[in-house]
Amino acid sequence: METRTERTRFDPVDLRRRWVQVPAGDPQVAAERIEGLGVDFAAANGRVWETDDFVYLPVVVNLRTGDTISREAVVFALGHDVLVTLQPEVRFAPFDKAVARMRRTPHLAGSPHGVMYALLYALNEAAERVIDYASDALEAMTDEIDMATKGVDENGRDIGVMDMQDTIARMNEAEEIVSRSQESQLLLARAARYLRAETAASEVELGKLIDILIADIDGVKEHASFEHDKVRYLQQSIMTSLDVKQNQIVKVFTIITAVFLPPTLIATFYGMNFTWMPELEWEHGFLVTTLLTLVAALIPLAYIKRKGWLR
């Protein structure tokens, strides 16, 4: 029983033998760490590439730090006895959680495939937190979006494009986040499927865990797709509402123009310098002209109302 406990105990030294972390930003340290391993990240050139000893699998992940979303690239070089990761820095935050998971389940650290499973699991969790952040940001804009679709704010004042610029900009940011998350999940799913193919048939338990991970990655991708459809729908709703509001404004000006155009035409006639205008000598010439102007204004207004264009 004691021997079994020792065999399954987490061993950091053994983990460092099976997992080599290479910082992408420090070429000297990177060269020292991959010396003698036969790893060539430059030849892989950021694409899926297979050699006799390694399978190179690039992924791009979105990470949340407070209210900041960053995008980082990680390349896995999966070998028979060692896993090498080209990562942004030596202490890459998502991988700290992967190490914590390997401490809880020490058998994962017993093979490079188990280590890579733990790392992909941590990256998938990080991606899910980013999507949740985008979802929460959309929920925080619910009141603003509701006002935009109604066309008026809490004070009853009409809302225009300028009033919604900040909200539209934040929605565009949320759309970009979930779009990038969809891309990241595709890369994670590809890496997980390659890992599953490279895992020996004898590692039944690890194979089942990887199958669950692939399903989880696809689930997060579906969540990202749902949020993407949601934000696109909200964007379309806001823009449609603003377009309707602008069309209403144009309609008002069109009606005003139609009503005042005939009186303006009559006023233009009487502004001409004719030598003789007989109605100027009539006793009720001013009253007749005024009534004629009023009738000329009411005729297009009655026509517009009959057509229902005032609604």
pLDDT in tens, 252-301: 788 888 788 878 877 777 777 777 777 767 777 778 778 888 888 888 88
The reported pLDDT for the residue numbered 175 is: 87
The radius of gyration of the chain from alpha carbons, rounded to an integer in Å, stands at 35
The token duo for 220 is 């997060």
Ranges of CATH 1.20.58.340 domains, the chain: 248-307
Give residue-wise pLDDT tens across range 28-81: 888 888 888 889 888 888 889 999 999 999 999 899 888 889 899 999 999 999
The CATH number of the domain covering residues in 248-307: 1.20.58.340
What burial letters (b/e) apply to 216-253, b meaning 16+ CB within 10 Å?
bbeebbebbbebbebbeebbeebeebbeebeeeeeeee
Q: What is the pTM of this model?
A: 0.75
114-154 per-position pLDDT tens digit: 999 999 999 999 999 999 998 888 887 777 777 766 666 66
Mean pLDDT across the chain: 84
Q: Which amino acid is at 114?
A: G
Q: How do beta strands 54-65 and 68-79 pair?
A: antiparallel
d(CA 108, CA 253): 71
135-165: b (≥16 Cβ within 10 Å) or e: bebbeebeebbebbeeeeeeeeeebeeeebe
pLDDT winner (highest mean) among 164-168, 207-211, 231-235: 207-211
pLDDT, residue 124, reads: 95
Q: Give DSSP secondary structure letters for 246-271.
A: HHHHHHHHHHHHHHHHHHHHHHHHHT
